[in-house]
Structures are given as C-alpha cells and as structure tokens.
Structure 1
C-alpha cells in the first residue's frame, strides 16, 4: 500500500501544483491585461499629445506665414507710401514750373512747412499786388491739422506784418 499511498500523494501534489500554476497563470494574465490596458491608455494619451502638438505646430506655421505676408504687405505699403511722399516733395518744389501754374515762378518762395509756397504776386515786376499761400497736394493726400489752422487764420484775416530789428535785439542781449 505504500506505493499506492505514494502515488496518491504524488498525484495530489501534482494536482495542487497544477492548481497553483493555473492560479498563477490566471493572476499573471490579469496583471498582463491590466498592464496592456495601462499601456493602451498611455499610448492613447501620447497619441493625443502628439496630435495636439502637430496641430499646434501647424497653427504656428499658419500664424508665421500670415505674419510674413503681413510684414511683406506692410513693406510694400511703406515703399509705396515713401514713393508717394517723395513724389509729393518733388512736386512741391517743381509746381511753380508746371504749365498749369498760374503765377510767375520768380514770384514764388518755397517754405515747405506748414505751407509749401508763398507767392508774392508781382514781386518780379517790382510791385506786389497780392500774397497767396499755396499748399501742394498729390494723389489722395489730405491737409494736416496744422495746414488747416494756417488756412483758417488766413481766411479769418488773422495775418499781420512785423519788423524785427536784429541790431537792437543784439544790443539788448549784451
């Protein structure tokens, strides 16, 4: 009987070992499934983060391109405006020599700011008949507030003539 008991105990040990191995395998499968779920969640989060980063990069690229377009447009506008200003300045200087200018160029004095020209009408012939203030504008240029205030003062007859004697002014300084 001892062989039968030995084999019985051996079979019982094998059954217990198989049950323990089975339980260990089931435990490992559950741990593996949990780890797989954790890895899947991490992978989904990483994918979401990468997609967000790609979207942010694409948005940043679009913003950069938009900024570059705006800068280029601003440069073109600046160059165009500069050309217009230069053309205006040249026109101011040359206006007395244009065919449609109705005053004698020899009677004209350029002052530039706040009004471009003063015409002393008749100065070349020796007798001034009138004094005319002229502001030259080109294109869509508008009068500045200063130019308008000069025009308003002239139109309201707030104009006068003064003599300043420098020699007496110098004597007072000393």
Structure 2
C-alpha cells in the first residue's frame, strides 16, 4: 500500500472497501494533517481513475501551472532588475570618467563634479577666471532617462528659476 496525499493505491477491492468502512486515520504526506481513511478517495490503480480524483488532479495541475508561470515572471523581474543594476553601475562609472574623453566638449578645468543630484556643473571660462556661462550637465549612457529629480532640476533651469546668493 502506497499513500500520496489523499490518494491511496491498493491492489485489492475488498481491502479498499474495508478501509472505507474503517475508523483508521491516515496522514497526508504533503501537509502532515491526519484524516479518516473513510473520507479519502481510495482506488487500486488497476481500474478506472475516479472522477473525483481526476478533478483534484486537474486542480493540482492547474495550480502547478500557475505557480510555474508566477516563478517565470519573478525570474524575469529579477533578471531585469539585475540588468538594470548593472547598467546603473556602469553609468555611475562612466559619468565619473567621461570628462577625460577626447570628444568631451568642455575643458576639464571648467568642470565641477557633483554626481548627485546632477553629474556636473560646467563654469565656462572658470579656468581663465572669467565665467561667462554655466551649464548643468547630466551624463546618461544607453537608453537611460532622467529621474524625476533630474527632470525637476532641468525644468527649474529652463524656467530660469535659479539665483545666486552670498552668505
């Protein structure tokens, strides 16, 4: 006799009938709960699979399918988050070294790195002691987009909502 959840496979119809009429208790291998064997779906495995057992089997298969789909979604989500973290890390490295690139169109001596909340402020002419233009510079790699904070800074600058104060 082998038990699997609420299903018990026996090879003898008489034994099955006596178990149905008994007061014996079984233990579910999945959840560990006890149950009366008289409430179990008992069959010998040689005959027709009981309709009630078919329904429970189908329900379990559907649940497994849903769980597999959920795991696939979680895996894709984790992989996407991991990839994004890699891109963000690469971006943070690039923004620190980009002023050293030959095609960087600002004199390094005019650049002041902030890194947060924007990458850099360029004071055009600072190296000649005569600043005539200030650029707020955000460096992005790939298809990266401005964060909400970066967008708000851009909008404030574009609306000329900037000032200079001495304290």
Q: What TM-score do the two structures reach when normalised by structure 1?
A: 0.62
- Higher RCO, 1 vs 2 (CA within 8 Å, ≥6 residues apart): 2
Structure 2 partner of 1:135: 138
Counterparts of 2:113 and 2:166 in 1: how far apart (Å)?
Answer: 21
Runs of 4+ in structure 1 displaced over 4 angstroms?
Answer: none
1:14-73 Cα shifts (integer Å, max 9, x gaps):
xxxxxxxxxxxxxxxxxxxxxxxxxxxx98xx8122111110111122122212211221
Structure 1 partner of 2:103: 100
1:131-169 Cα shifts (integer Å, max 9, x gaps):
1111111222222332222222222222211112xxxxx
Structure 1 partner of 2:37: none
> Which structure has greater helix proportion?
1
Aligned residues: CA RMSD: 2.0
Where does 1:3-152 land on structure 2 (aligned, <5 Å)?
Answer: 47-152=50-155
Q: What TM-score do the two structures reach when normalised by structure 2?
A: 0.65
Which structure's CA Rg is the greater one? Answer: 1
Counterparts of 1:160 and 1:132 in 2: how far apart (Å)?
Answer: 14
> Which structure has greater strand proportion?
2
Counterparts of 1:78 and 1:150 in 2: how far apart (Å)?
Answer: 26
Counterparts of 2:52 and 2:112 in 1: how far apart (Å)?
Answer: 72
The alpha carbon displacement at 1:75 in A equals 1.6
Task: Extract unaligned runs of 5+ from structure 1.
Answer: 1-41, 165-174
Counterparts of 2:81 and 2:118 in 1: how far apart (Å)?
Answer: 24
Structure 1 partner of 2:161: 158
